[in-house]
Structure 1
């Protein structure tokens, strides 16, 4: 589970940095901030002592759900 957390953490961090660098469309700042939050939530080192009673598995599942919901955010209102 830690390896999956590292993979998701680095992937979302680099995606957020790339989106912040390019800024292709309106609302990309909010999506980049969401990707940074997902990178923080998935990072195993920060959450090693299990603060707030949230386990690594729960955080990784939350990040995967955020990533899978990303296309719904991109749909026009």
Structure 2
């Protein structure tokens, strides 16, 4: 799913953080948010019912990703 070495590294770091502390709060780098949003999109495409299980969390992830890219959120 991730072709670039920096994306693989960001995904590995993200997994390590999530494994260490399931409760958060987490401060994620733009790269980590990028791989997380890609995973959310893949999950939604492959398992549409899964994307409806936690819509608020998915929305927060998307909003954080947009903020990390400098895009205004509504």
TM over 0.5: no
TM-score calculated relative to the size of structure 2: 0.39
Structure having the higher Rg: 1
TM-score calculated relative to the size of structure 1: 0.37
- Asked which structure has the greater RCO (Cα within 8 Å, sep 6+), the reply is 1
Report the structure, 1 or 2, having the larger helix content: 1
